[in-house]
Amino acid sequence: MDFDWMKHPGLSGIDPAKLAMLQSLAAQGRGKSQSEMLPFLMAAASSAQKEGKQFTPDELSMIVEVLKSGKTAEEAAQIDKMMNLVKMMRK
């Protein structure tokens, strides 16, 4: 799996433990269908919260922007859609 996005300078201010967790989640999520991703991400977020490992809103925004870089407009829109669903489910 290609984790070059993890070397993006915008991520340099994020705690290395959080980035390691993110890398692990990316590896675990590989190959999951779109319908499987939302429940997977929600479970991961709940687990991280219980462990006290939460990303700040600024960290999440930066991660999403890094993930969207180099993607097609359609892929970027899918990422935005997924993030909006996650935000709605957290309310």
**Rounded average pLDDT over 9-34:** 85
Q: With 60 as the cut, is the pLDDT of residue 34 above it?
A: yes
Please say whether the beta carbons of 17 and 53 come within 8 A. yes
**pLDDT in the model for residue 2:** 58
**pLDDT in the model for residue 90:** 64
**pLDDT in the model for residue 3:** 60
**pLDDT in the model for residue 7:** 81
According to the 3-state scheme, what is the secondary structure of the chain?
Answer: CCCHHHHCHHHCCCCHHHHHHHHHHHHHHCCCCHHHHHHHHHHHHHHHHHCCCCCCHHHHHHHHHHHHCCCCHHHHHHHHHHHHHHHHHHC
Distance between CA 72 and CA 54 in Å, rounded?
Answer: 28
Task: Report pTM.
Answer: 0.70
**In the chain, pLDDT over 90 holds for what percent of residues?**
1
**pLDDT in the model for residue 5:** 77
Higher pLDDT, 61 or 37: 61
pLDDT band at 22 (very low <50, low <70, confident <90, very high): confident
